[in-house]
Amino acid sequence: MSNIAVVAHGADDLRVEDLSEPTPATDEAVVEVAYGGVCGSDLHYWRHGAAGASILREPMVLGHELSGTVVTAAADGSGPAVGARVAVHPLTPRGDGVTPYPEDRPNLAPASTYLGSAMHLPHTQGGFADRVALPTRMLVPLPEGMDLRLGALAEPAAVAWHAVERAGDVRRARVAVIGAGPIGLLAAAVALHHGAAEVTATDLHEAPRDVARRLGARTLDARDGSAIAQLHADVVIESSGTVPGLDAAISACRRGGTVVLVGLQRAGEVPAAMASVITRELTLTGSFRFGAEFADVVAALGDGSLVVNAVVSHTFDAADALDAFAVAGDPSVSAKVLLAFAGATAGAGGADGAAGEGGR
**pLDDT given for residue 53 in this prediction:** 87
Encode pLDDT of 46-102 as tens digits.
999 999 889 999 999 999 999 999 999 999 999 999 999 999 999 999 999 999 999
Distance CA 38, CA 250 (A): 29
| Whether the Cβ atoms of residue 198 and residue 220 lie closer than 8 Å to each other | no
Task: CATH number of the domain at 350, please.
Answer: 3.90.180.10
* Count of beta carbons in the 10 Å neighbourhood of residue 57: 13
| Nearest Cα residue to 101 out of 111, 92, 86 | 111
Q: Is residue 209 part of a domain?
A: yes
Domain final position from 235, 252, 286: 286
Mean pLDDT of 137-158: 97
Predicted confidence (pLDDT) at residue 36 exceeds the cutoff of 70: yes
Domain that holds residue 93: 4-153+308-357
Domain count, the chain: 2
Do residues 126 and 199 share a domain? no
Do residues 55 and 111 share a domain? yes
Instruction: Give 3-state DSSP helix, strand, coil % of the chain, rounded to 5.
Output: 30, 30, 45
| Nearest Cα residue to 158 out of 175, 183, 180, 135 | 183
Q: How far is CA 218 from CA 108, 203, 209, in A?
A: 33, 11, 9
Distance CA 249, CA 64 (A): 28
Domain final position from 286, 320, 339: 286
Do residues 148 and 244 share a domain? no
Q: Is residue 295 part of a domain?
A: no
**pLDDT given for residue 345 in this prediction:** 65
Do residues 70 and 187 share a domain? no
| Nearest Cα residue to 263 out of 251, 249, 274 | 249
Do residues 105 and 209 share a domain? no
**pLDDT given for residue 6 in this prediction:** 98
Do residues 98 and 22 share a domain? yes
Residues 6+ apart with CB under 8 A from 91: 106, 107, 112, 113, 114, 289
Do residues 181 and 143 share a domain? no
Q: Is residue 276 part of a domain?
A: yes
Q: Is residue 297 part of a domain?
A: no
Strands (E), the chain: 4-10, 13-18, 28-37, 50-51, 54-55, 60-61, 65-72, 85-88, 91-92, 113-114, 131-135, 139-141, 174-178, 198-203, 218-221, 233-238, 253-261, 283-286, 312-317, 336-340
Encode pLDDT of 267-296 as tens digits.
889 999 999 999 999 999 999 999 889 999
**pLDDT given for residue 95 in this prediction:** 96
Predicted confidence (pLDDT) at residue 350 exceeds the cutoff of 70: no
Do residues 43 and 138 share a domain? yes
Domain final position from 231, 254, 286: 286
Predicted confidence (pLDDT) at residue 358 exceeds the cutoff of 50: no
| Nearest Cα residue to 182 out of 339, 37, 357 | 37
**pLDDT given for residue 1 in this prediction:** 86
